Structure 1
Amino acid sequence: MAMKIDKLRSEIENFTFHNGKNGSRGFNHALIQLFGLLGHGKSSFINTCLYVWEDGDFKNWAEAAAKDEGCTMTRLTYPLTGNITLVDNRGYAKLGSHESGEIFAQLGNLLPLGNAVEWSKGFGLVERIVRAESKIKHSDFIVPVFVYSVKMGVNPHEAKEIKSLLLTAAKVTGIYPLIVLTFKTNGSLTDTMAAFRDMGAEKIFAFENYTQEDCSKLRGRHEEVLKFLSEVTEEVLFRINHSRDPEREMKERKQFVLNYVHDRDKQSQVDEMEKQRLRDKNEQMAQLKEHQEALERQKERINREMVDELWRKQEQFRRMNLADQARQEEELKERRARSERRNKWNRMFRQ
Structure 2
Amino acid sequence: MAGPQRPLHEMRDYIRTFSLDTLPHGNQGYQRVLLQLVGHIGSGKSALINSCKCVLDDGEFIMYAKATDAPGAVTSSRTAYELTPTISIVDNRPVIIMMKMEMAEVYAQLGNFRPLNGPVNKNWTFYDYMTTLEETELNPNYTDLIVPVLVDDTRFHFGSEQEEIQTFLRECKLMTGFIPIVVITNKGSRNTSEVRNKFIAMGAEQVIPVEIYTTENRERTRGKDTDILIFLYNALQDVAYYMSQQRDLRRERLERKKFLLKYMHDVEIEKKVQEALRKAEINRKEKR
Q: What TM-score comes out, normalization by structure 1 length?
A: 0.76
Distance 1:39 1:70, change over 3 A: farther
Aligned partner of 2:153 in structure 1 is 149
Q: Does 1:166 align with 2:197?
A: no
Query: Does 256-265 or 269-278 show the bigger shift?
Result: 269-278
Q: Which one has the bigger helix percentage? A: 1
2:192 to 166, 189, 193: 189
The answer (yes or no) to whether the contact 2:16–2:56 under 8 Å persists in 1 is no
RMSD (Å) for aligned C-alpha atoms: 1.8
**Offset from partner CA, 1:17-74 (integer Å, 9 cap, x none):** 1222222222121111111222211111111111111222222211111446661111
Aligned partner of 1:102 in structure 2 is 105
Query: How far is the alpha carbon of 1:263 from its aligned partner?
Result: 1.5
For 1:126 and 1:39, how far apart are their aligned partners in 2?
Answer: 31
1:133 to 125, 132, 137: 137
Aligned partner of 1:328 in structure 2 is none
Q: Does 1:263 align with 2:286?
A: no
Aligned partner of 2:235 in structure 1 is 232
Letter in 2 for 1:202: E
For 1:229 and 1:270, how far apart are their aligned partners in 2?
Answer: 43
Structure 2 unmatched runs, 5+:
1-5
Structure 1 unmatched runs, 5+:
289-351
Please give the secondary structure, in 2, of the residue aligned with 1:91: coil
Between structure 1 and structure 2, the one with the greater Rg is 1
Letter in 1 for 2:171: T
Moved over 4 A (4+): none
Q: Does 1:58 align with 2:61?
A: yes
For 1:51 and 1:86, how far apart are their aligned partners in 2?
Answer: 13
Percent identity, aligned pairs only, is: 31
Letter in 2 for 1:234: Q
Please give the secondary structure, in 1, of the residue aligned with 2:104: helix
For 2:131 and 2:227, how far apart are their aligned partners in 1?
Answer: 41
Query: How far is the alpha carbon of 1:97 from its aligned partner?
Result: 4.2
The answer (yes or no) to whether the contact 2:35–2:89 under 8 Å persists in 1 is yes
Q: Does 1:250 align with 2:253?
A: yes
Letter in 2 for 1:101: A
Aligned partner of 1:113 in structure 2 is 116
* Aligned residue pairs, count: 282
Query: How far is the alpha carbon of 1:121 from its aligned partner?
Result: 2.8
Query: How far is the alpha carbon of 1:194 from its aligned partner?
Result: 0.9
Aligned partner of 2:80 in structure 1 is 77
More relative contact order in 1 or in 2 (CA 8 Å, sep 6+)? 2
Aligned partner of 2:3 in structure 1 is none
For 1:236 and 1:108, how far apart are their aligned partners in 2?
Answer: 16
Query: How far is the alpha carbon of 1:134 from its aligned partner?
Result: 3.3
Please give the secondary structure, in 1, of the residue aligned with 2:138: helix
Letter in 1 for 2:24: K
The answer (yes or no) to whether the contact 1:154–1:192 under 8 Å persists in 2 is no
Distance 1:183 1:121, change over 3 A: farther
**Offset from partner CA, 1:192-239 (integer Å, 9 cap, x none):** 011101111111111222110110101111011111111111111111
